[in-house]
Amino acid sequence: MIQILPFHLDLQQYGIRADRVERVFRAAEVTPLPQAPAIIRGVINVHGDIVAVVDIRDRFNLPVRNIGIKDIFVRAHTARRSVVIVADSVEGVIQVDSDAVSSTETTVPGAPYIQGVARLPGDLLFIHDLDSLLSLDEEEELDQSIQDFTGKTDAQS
């Protein structure tokens, strides 16, 4: 069994492996981060940590929109950093039988941001690959932007 945190962007359901999720909370004011990659909406202060807010809508060819008070933030960790992902809504953690998850090579070849597709009753859930969230160039741009913003490297914040 795999534990997944499902979330919605427009009418499509996505998910993140629950072991990558740190917390879920209501959207907050985001401070713009100059010179950050386009996917970064800005940063927020989460209990003293400066965390990048990532809008993954563009990665899935969805129209970008302003963050609203009804939106949800999901703080999760990639292989390199903690990030906040913007979601329209979030459901509780679900358990998915690993046999119900197909690899992207067989179901959606060429989808670089999808780790797998889970077949749920009446729906498909695209499991997001957090480690491919940012390219190496975007990671470097973000590190430099955060360092310029805070005067510290990301590892120090």
Report which DSSP code applies to 128: E
- Sign of the C-alpha dihedral computed for residues 60, 115, 27 and 55 taken in this order: negative
pLDDT at 156: 46
Range with top average pLDDT, 51-55, 97-101, 128-132: 51-55
Examine the pLDDT at 42 and tell me if it is beyond 90: yes
Give the span between the Cα atoms of 85 and 73, in whole angstroms: 6
Question: What distance in Å separates the CA atoms of residue 134 and residue 99, rounded to the nearest whole number?
Answer: 28
Residue 87 has which token pair? 């979601």
Stronger pLDDT, 95 or 124, i.e. the higher one? 95
Assess whether pLDDT exceeds 80 at residue 146: yes
pLDDT at 134: 86
Average pLDDT over residues 79-94: 92
Read off the pLDDT of residues 2-31 as tens digits, 9 standing for 90 and up.
899 999 999 888 899 999 999 999 999 999
Please say whether the beta carbons of 72 and 63 come within 8 A. no
Buried b (16+ CB within 10 A) or exposed e, 83-101: bbbbbbebeeebebeeeeb
